[in-house]
């Protein structure tokens, strides 16, 4: 997969329309987490340095094609100004006049593009009208790339288009993890339900050498293998599907790893009395809440054999102690191998990012995606419209 970057574009004196994701949490009109804003700074700064005039396009919330004052991007302006270290002009309406008045060195933010009914319908007329505002289109919102919307897909076909710095970094990391990875490759997939990750599992067993299944998903696979799991969370009606995945993995040469020992408790509560048992000895009145230490040691051995790791989902109920230990210990082992230059590590998904941050492993991972749905669809092998349009 190839795409143009900012370095391929002559931006001097040109208006550059940049699709960004600044759909950030806001409380009482104040942004409470500026992570997404900080991640777009390099692109905007580089456009300015190249003599371009950045015009930012973004959505906020789900106004469903109507003007909803509470979802105005105007409330994001102070956080943008703090991140960029300069004034950010805001156009609530009359985008054309605002873009025409923009001077060298200035930044403009347009009002919530989802206020337009045509945005989520990928309306070519809306894309064409927005394209008239500038000379170059840049997509720096990988997290929105799985949506075929006017500002993520149609506009990329209406103007000379390139990937922004954040989009480029994301695509490069993903290409290195699944597109053309160093082998062997191991994927860790956790979470509650097999049913939500069927496409993901089916794709991965054709692409990776080792697949680690954790969390509630692992329980469903244990049931499929005839292992009793007490009162643990599981989708027993998915047992046949799990068996089919296990059989398919034998044909693709992918080794599936399930827990060999488990941490069980009588209740899902912080500090609950617990014990570690072999995987086939779960008491009828207990539930599995984490992978045990022998499982983690086994995974450390798998990680040490591999060159590339992709991670999506925890190994247990990491949100509450002491059931965080399996996920944290495995993550820290992967992080240590990464720090030693022995393993490339790419991770994504809300729970995954949270677990890696809490464990302290995040700082040593090669790349952590905050893209959510787009990251998952990429792992499922699906074409992302916003990325395809840049090709």
Active site residues: 36, 193, 350, 373
Is 89 annotated to bind a ligand? Reply is no
Is 114 annotated to bind a ligand? Reply is yes
The residues, ordered by sequence, that sit 6+ positions from 49 with a Cβ below 8 Å of its Cβ are none
Q: Which of 7, 4, 17, 15 shows the shortest CA–CA distance to 150?
A: 17
Is 36 annotated to bind a ligand? Reply is yes
Phi, psi of 225 (to 5 degrees): -95, 5
Q: Checking DSSP bridges between strand 274-278 and strand 15-19, what pairing results, if any?
A: unpaired
Query: What are the start-end ranges of the E strands in the chain?
Result: 15-19, 26-27, 30-31, 53-57, 88-91, 107-110, 136-139, 161-163, 185-189, 210-213, 255-257, 261-265, 274-278, 287-291, 308-312, 344-348, 367-369
Two tokens, residue 203:
């794709």
Q: Which of 26, 33, 140, 18 shows the shortest CA–CA distance to 72?
A: 26
Is 60 annotated to bind a ligand? Reply is yes
Instruction: Give the Å distances, CA to CA, from 118 to 82, 113, 176, 349.
Output: 32, 9, 35, 29
Query: What span, in angstroms and rounded, lies between the C-alpha atoms of 205 and 313?
Result: 16
Is 210 annotated to bind a ligand? Reply is no
H-helix or E-strand containing 336?
helix 325-339
Query: What span, in angstroms and rounded, lies between the C-alpha atoms of 249 and 208?
Result: 10
Is 22 annotated to bind a ligand? Reply is yes
Is 351 annotated to bind a ligand? Reply is yes
For residue 91, the cross-strand partners are 110
Query: What span, in angstroms and rounded, lies between the C-alpha atoms of 385 and 48?
Result: 27
Is 319 annotated to bind a ligand? Reply is yes
Burial of 277 (0-12, 13-18, 19+ CB in 10 A): middle
Is 147 annotated to bind a ligand? Reply is yes
Is 46 annotated to bind a ligand? Reply is no
Question: Taking every pair of C-alpha atoms in the chain, what is the biggest distance, in angstroms?
Answer: 71
Is 21 annotated to bind a ligand? Reply is yes
Is 107 annotated to bind a ligand? Reply is no
Query: What span, in angstroms and rounded, lies between the C-alpha atoms of 349 and 330?
Result: 17
Q: Which residue ranges are tagged as binding site for substrate?
A: 21-23, 36, 59-62, 114, 147
Q: Which residue ranges are tagged as binding site?
A: 21-23, 36, 59-62, 114, 147, 197, 319, 349-352
Q: Which residue ranges are tagged as binding site for ATP?
A: 197, 319, 349-352
Q: Which residue ranges are tagged as binding site for (2R)-3-phosphoglycerate?
A: 36, 114, 147
């Amino acid at each position: 997969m190839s795409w143009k970057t900012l370095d391929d574009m002559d931006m001097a004196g040109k208006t550059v329309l940049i699709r960004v994701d600044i759909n950030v949490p806001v409380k009482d009109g104040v942004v409470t987490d500026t992570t997404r804003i900080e991640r777009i700074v390099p692109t905007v700064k580089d456009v300015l340095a190249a003599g371009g005039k950045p015009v930012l396009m973004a959505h906020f919330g789900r106004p469903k094609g109507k003007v909803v004052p509470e979802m105005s991007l105007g409330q994001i302006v102070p956080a943008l100004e703090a991140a960029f270290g300069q004034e950010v002009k805001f156009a609530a309406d009359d985008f054309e006049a605002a873009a025409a008045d923009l001077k060298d060195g200035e930044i403009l933010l347009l009002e919530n593009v989802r206020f337009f009914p045509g945005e989520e319908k990928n309306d070519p007329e809306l894309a064409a009208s927005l394209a008239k505002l500038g000379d170059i289109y840049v997509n720096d919102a990988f997290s929105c790339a799985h949506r075929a919307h006017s500002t993520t897909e149609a506009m990329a076909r209406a103007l000379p288009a390139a990937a922004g710095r954040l989009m480029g970094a994301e695509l490069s990391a993903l290409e290195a993890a699944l597109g053309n990875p160093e082998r062997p490759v191991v994927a860790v997939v956790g979470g509650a339900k097999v049913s939500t990750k069927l496409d993901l599992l089916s794709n991965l067993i054709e692409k990776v050498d080792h697949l680690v299944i954790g969390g509630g998903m692992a329980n469903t696979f244990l049931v499929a293998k005839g292992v009793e799991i007490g009162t643990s969370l599981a989708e027993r009606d998915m047992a046949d599907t799990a068996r089919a995945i296990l059989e398919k993995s034998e044909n693709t040469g992918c080794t599936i790893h399930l827990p060999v020992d488990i941490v069980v408790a009588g209740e899902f509560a912080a500090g609950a009395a617990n014990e570690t048992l072999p995987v086939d000895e779960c008491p009828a009145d207990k539930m599995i809440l984490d992978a045990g230490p022998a499982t983690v040691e086994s995974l450390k051995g798998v990680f040490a054999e591999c060159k590339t790791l992709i991670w999506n989902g925890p190994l247990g109920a990491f949100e509450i102690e002491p059931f965080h230990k399996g996920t944290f210990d495995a993550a820290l082992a992967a992080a240590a191998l990464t720090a030693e230059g022995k393993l490339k590590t790419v991770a994504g998904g809300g729970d995954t990012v949270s677990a890696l941050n809490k464990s302290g492993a995040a700082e040593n991972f090669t790349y952590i995606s905050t893209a959510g749905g787009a990251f998952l669809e990429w792992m499922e092998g699906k074409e992302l419209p916003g990325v395809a349009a840049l090709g």
